[in-house]
Amino acid sequence: MAASKGLKILVGCKRVIDYAVKVRVKPDRSGVVTEGVKHSMNPFDEIAVEEAVRMKEKKLAGEAVAISVGPPQSQETLRTALAMGIDRAIHVEIPLAQLEKLQPIHVSKLLAKVCESEKPDLVILGKQAIDDDCNQTGQMLAALLDWPQATFASKIEPSQTIDVSVPAVVTSDLRLNEPRYATLPNIMKAKKKPLAKMSPDQLGVDLQPRQEVISVEDPPVRKAGAKVESVEDLVGKLREKGLVK
């Protein structure tokens, strides 16, 4: 690794439904409503992007590349990453029909293929996506590449005793940093940064689904509690439920 040039970092970003949106299940129970719903970068991925940009600012990293696997709109997510300070972006475009069936196993295979050509020293991913909460892509990618992994990282720094040798996969934890906001001027500047498009076929990865979603349901409604007037009442009710002898 050329210490003077700095590490090359690859950061994964996923476009998910915005964290503040009230998610609604579709009437046919096949999934959640995504049409016309606000989307943004997965918060843990924002932390990953921020870490890469900070490493660049500290001159630990020479180049930071963002990658997103998703529909055409994922370009907006990549633009946000570029606005935060990433140098260039790669978009692996998934046609809408295959999007719902996309699983971490497919994503990690796609990322592994890109790693073969890009040859990053460090891959930083969010620890999990807030839409599927799989928490798998980072670990799977490390296994596919046979690289060491450091998951739920709360701090990344070079040290005398090398705890994890590069190349490695790291997943980000909430503690790692506070991501900067991508303001409009930075978004406009980001439009000039390179954004390359790829398809899964080009990478030679098969997107056959391994799982099938049977149904998606709302969590059960909390049953109303009962108010009691006295301690005797409370004990009586607990006895009724068989919770107290």
Partner 1 sequence: MTSPPPQLRSQVIALYKNLLYMGRDYPKGYAYFRDRLKSVFLKNSGVKDPDQIKVLIGRGEFVIKELEALYMLRKYRALKHRYYEKDEATTSATTSSSDKKAPTKTQ
Q: Does 73 bind partner 1 (CB under 8 A)?
A: no
- For the window 125-144, what string marks contact with partner 1 as x by the rule CB under 8 A? -----x--------------
Report in angstroms how near the CB of residue 104 gets to partner 1 at its nearest: 18
- For the window 8-37, what string marks contact with partner 1 as x by the rule CB under 8 A? ----------xxxxx---------------
Three-class SS state of 15: strand
Nearest residue (CB) to partner 1, 43 versus 148:
43
What's the CA gap between 51 and 67, in Å, rounded? 15
Question: Of 70, 94, 81, whose CA–CA distance to 17 is shortest?
Answer: 70
Q: Does 184 bind partner 1 (CB under 8 A)?
A: yes
Interacting residues with partner 1 between 145 and 174 (CB under 8 A): 154, 173-174
What's the CA gap between 147 and 165, in Å, rounded? 9
One-letter identity of residue 186: N
**171 sits in which H/E element:** strand 168-172
Q: Does 177 bind partner 1 (CB under 8 A)?
A: yes
Q: Does 41 bind partner 1 (CB under 8 A)?
A: no
Q: Which of 65, 90, 176, 205 binds partner 1 (CB under 8 A)?
A: 176
Q: How many residues bind partner 1 (CB under 8 A)?
A: 22
Would you mind telling me the total number of residues written for the chain in this entry? 245
Q: Does 97 bind partner 1 (CB under 8 A)?
A: no
Three-class SS state of 239: helix
What's the CA gap between 239 and 228, in Å, rounded? 14
Verify cis geometry, omega within 30 degrees of 0, for the bond prior to 27. Answer: no
Q: Does 85 bind partner 1 (CB under 8 A)?
A: no
What's the CA gap between 239 and 187, in Å, rounded? 62
Q: Does 175 bind partner 1 (CB under 8 A)?
A: yes
Residues that bind partner 1 (CB under 8 A): 18-22, 38, 43, 130, 154, 173-181, 183-185, 187
